């Protein structure tokens, strides 16, 4: 069990059960931007990303939210198969409603370690940061 400092000095306790629920919810959303069932429209993208979202790609390049959307819009329009497998998910709480999810993404012979910082709000989950690193 981990404890987190909450508002007004209260301590919020996250049980192993809470961890399991959050982990399951986030695994269902990864790999980020490859799950077309979560939506392929700009509105869906904006709902799942923070306004100041950014990512570091597997190449090491830094991308802002607008660049990522433009890339995804092209990918979604092409409608090409996107085959992947994920493994090794781990979850770490960074703040009261902020979580780091890490995992391995296999895309054919390409393997990357992924890290996504997720924020939970009343509107649901949204991504603050994402990174891919060749493994």
Residues 6+ apart with CB under 8 A from 16: 1
Convert the pLDDT of each residue in 8-55 to its tens digit. 333 344 456 788 999 999 999 999 899 999 999 999 999 999 999 999
Q: What is the mean pLDDT of residues 3-10?
A: 35
Q: How many domains does the chain have?
A: 1
- Average pLDDT of the chain is 88
* The pLDDT of residue 95: 94
Q: Is residue 129 a contact partner of residue 116, using CB atoms and an 8 Å limit?
A: yes
Give the CATH number for residue 70: 3.10.450.50
Q: Which ranges constitute the DSSP H helices of 28-132?
A: 42-48, 65-78
Q: Which ranges constitute the DSSP H helices of the chain?
A: 16-27, 42-48, 65-78
* The pLDDT of residue 1: 29
Range of the domain at 106: 2-134
Lowest mean pLDDT segment, chosen from 13-27, 67-81, 97-111: 13-27
| Full-model pTM | 0.85
* The pLDDT of residue 68: 97
Looking at the chain, the whole-number percentage of residues with pLDDT higher than 70 is: 88
* The pLDDT of residue 111: 96
């Amino acid at each position: 069990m981990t404890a987190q400092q909450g508002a007004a000095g209260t301590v919020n306790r996250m049980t192993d059960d809470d961890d399991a629920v959050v982990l399951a919810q986030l695994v269902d959303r990864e790999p980020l931007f490859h799950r077309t069932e979560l939506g392929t429209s700009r509105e869906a993208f904006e709902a799942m990303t923070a306004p100041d979202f950014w990512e570091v790609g597997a190449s090491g390049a830094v991308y802002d939210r607008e660049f990522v959307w433009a890339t995804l819009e092209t990918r979604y329009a092409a409608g090409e198969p996107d085959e992947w497998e994920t493994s090794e998910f781990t979850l770490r709480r960074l703040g009261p409603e902020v979580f780091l999810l890490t995992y391995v993404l296999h895309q054919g012979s390409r393997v990357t370690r992924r890290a996504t910082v997720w924020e939970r709000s009343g509107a649901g989950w949204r991504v603050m940061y994402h990174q891919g690193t060749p493994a």
